[in-house]
Amino acid sequence: MAEYDYVAGKKRIVEILRSRTEVIEIDEVPTEERFTYSNSYTSWITAIFVDIRNSLELFSNENKALVSRVMRSFTSEIIEILRKDPHLREIGIRGDCVYGIYTTHLQSGTYEVLDMAFFANTYMRMLRVLLEQFSLPLIGVGIGVSTAKDLVIKAGRKDTGISNMVWIGDSATKASKFASLGNKDGYRPIVISSLTYQNTIENLVKNSGEAARSWFRERNDESLGTFYDCDVSKIQFGNWIDGGMKE
């Protein structure tokens, strides 16, 4: 293995620390191609994380082919639900979690991300039925959604081709934490930030009536502040599942 050249490393770090970084406030987060190592952006962002509950129990199963099929059935369709929005800026898998991050300077964009959470929640009903039919382990998920005005930077090692966009603030961080709460210890499957709720509730009421307000339960936590949980499904999708999923 080639040894790390710490002398050259020091020079690179000093160059970074002395460099000027332009922070640009913008409505929509641009595509990755517009990011450089000398700029960064602040914008409104909504993140969604879908996290398997009790994954250690699944992963410890000695039948690794079985584990593979369950994980692929989970990731395949959650990715399909999350990937088609034109405001998507990053999608990926972290261990037992699938996530998507979207630029959402309009409330309608936040509403679309929350609607994906409803689809993901309903999909998990379908998956559980199918897993039971194939005598495979059943899994549940927690779904977290959070909206915030955050800083976005390109981070990595210049000239190596190794880089990623890094989301600094409450959108991805809180969405991940909310996903870890969902469907556990009395929390409903979908957990959303207070700002996500504020940016979507009037659209929900407009489309579904005043009853939509009752779908959400206000929760409070010393570190997370005020947030909401719910267990909302897509009606047509859910009826199809209940009707036997006939093609």
Question: Domain for residue 2, yes or no?
Answer: no
How much is the pLDDT for 109?
Answer: 96
Q: Count up the domains in the chain and report the number.
A: 1
The CA distance from 91 to 103, in Å, is 12
pLDDT in tens, 165-212: 899 999 999 999 999 999 999 999 999 999 999 999 999 999 999 999
Question: Domain for residue 123, yes or no?
Answer: yes
Percent of the chain residues topping a pLDDT of 70: 99
Question: Domain for residue 156, yes or no?
Answer: yes
pLDDT in tens, 85-129: 999 999 999 989 999 999 999 999 999 999 999 999 999 999 999
CATH number at residue 150: 3.30.70.1230
Question: Domain for residue 120, yes or no?
Answer: yes
Residue 71 has pLDDT above 80, yes or no: yes
How much is the pLDDT for 59?
Answer: 84
Task: Give Cα separations from 119 to 6, 206, 242 (angstroms).
Answer: 49, 19, 15
Question: Domain for residue 226, yes or no?
Answer: yes
pLDDT in tens, 45-70: 999 999 999 888 888 888 888 889 99
Question: Domain for residue 125, yes or no?
Answer: yes
| Comparison of pLDDT for 211 and 2, the residue scoring more | 211
168 token code pair: 């600094």
Q: What is the DSSP letter of 162?
A: E
Which domain, by its residues, includes 150?
21-242
Residue 1 has pLDDT above 70, yes or no: no
Amino acid letter for position 117: A
Question: Domain for residue 142, yes or no?
Answer: yes
Phi, psi of 191 (to 5 degrees): -125, 125
Question: Domain for residue 67, yes or no?
Answer: yes
